[in-house]
Amino acid sequence: MRKALVLDFGGVVTRTLFETHALTEKALGLAAGTLTWRGPFDPDGDPLWQSMQADEITERQYWQQRTREVAELAGKDWTEMAQFVIAARGADPMPVIRPEAISAIDRARDAGVALAILSNELDLFYGAEFRNKLPFLRTFDVIHDATYTHILKPDRRAYEACIDALNIAAADCVFVDDQARNIAGAKAVGMQTVHFDVSKPAAGYAQALGLLEITGEIA
């Protein structure tokens, strides 16, 4: 019976923008220490993040606000999150990909496990050309991006469409996401889940591989 590893993208596959402030500041010509919001790494110091976690604003609204703030600091006229991300992460996105993600993806693929991305905003946040610079994405069986479907997690239809595209039973799919609301949505359709802690990526991927019955350490 075939199984599937279904991954959120931002935060799970990539290092978060919270983790790469130094790279962002350098890329945008900002002084070191200019960016102070750190989301899950310092929730008490990021009231806007707390509002998002309390469902007072959406994740998209959180990043729209941060995009406006950084645009003002950098003297840019950005109107879209993708403009911020592309400017912050430059022409080569591989340095912000989690090595733990590559290790887990390689091991899952070698074990015959299907691979899928289930994202609310892959191309919306990163730009349509971003994925073309990531060779490992070409090995994925399904990339389901709400940028185009307009059906966002935790709407059950998002999970069901991904499961249908994989043609694998929900119970045989392990879904990994860093947002609790999205984990709840996956559980509601019968998927196995890993609530990914962005501060402990190796542990999250080890848990996912364990559910897929793949043994060994995450590099």
Domain assignment present for 217: no
Asked if pLDDT for residue 219 goes beyond 90, the answer is no
Asked if pLDDT for residue 98 goes beyond 90, the answer is yes
Of 42, 16, 207, 195, the C-alpha closest to 98 is 16
Which residues in the chain belong to E strands, given as ranges? 4-7, 114-119, 142-145, 173-177, 192-195
CA angle centred on 13, ends 199 and 205, rounded to 5°: 60
pTM: 0.87
Q: What's the mean pLDDT in 8-24?
A: 94
Percentage above 90 pLDDT, the chain: 82
Which stretch of 106-115, 124-133, 209-218 has the lowest confidence by average pLDDT?
124-133
Provide the residue range defining the domain that includes 151.
4-15+94-211
Residue 205 near residue 103, CB atoms below 8 Å = yes
Asked if pLDDT for residue 210 goes beyond 70, the answer is yes
Beta-bridge partners for 144: 118
Q: Which two tokens stand for residue 157?
A: 């239809």
Residue 119 near residue 10, CB atoms below 8 Å = yes
Domain assignment present for 218: no
List pLDDT tens digits, range 53-81: 999 999 889 999 999 999 999 999 998 88
Q: What's the mean pLDDT in 97-106?
A: 96
Structural domain total, the chain: 2
Whether residues 74 and 144 share a domain: the answer is no
List pLDDT tens digits, range 169-205: 999 999 999 999 999 999 999 999 999 999 999 999 9
Domain assignment present for 203: yes
* pLDDT, position 4: 98
Q: What's the mean pLDDT in 195-218?
A: 94
Mean pLDDT, all residues of the chain: 94
Domain assignment present for 216: no
End-to-end CA distance of the chain: 27
Domain assignment present for 205: yes
What is the rounded CA–CA span in Å between residue 150 and residue 108?
A: 29
Percentage above 70 pLDDT, the chain: 99
Whether residues 65 and 159 share a domain: the answer is no
Residue 134 near residue 93, CB atoms below 8 Å = yes
What is the rounded CA–CA span in Å between residue 28 and residue 75?
A: 9
Surface-to-core class of residue 117, CB atoms within 10 Å of its CB (0-12 exposed, 13-18 middle, 19+ buried): buried
Strand order in the sheet with 4-7: 142-145, 114-119, 4-7, 173-177, 192-195
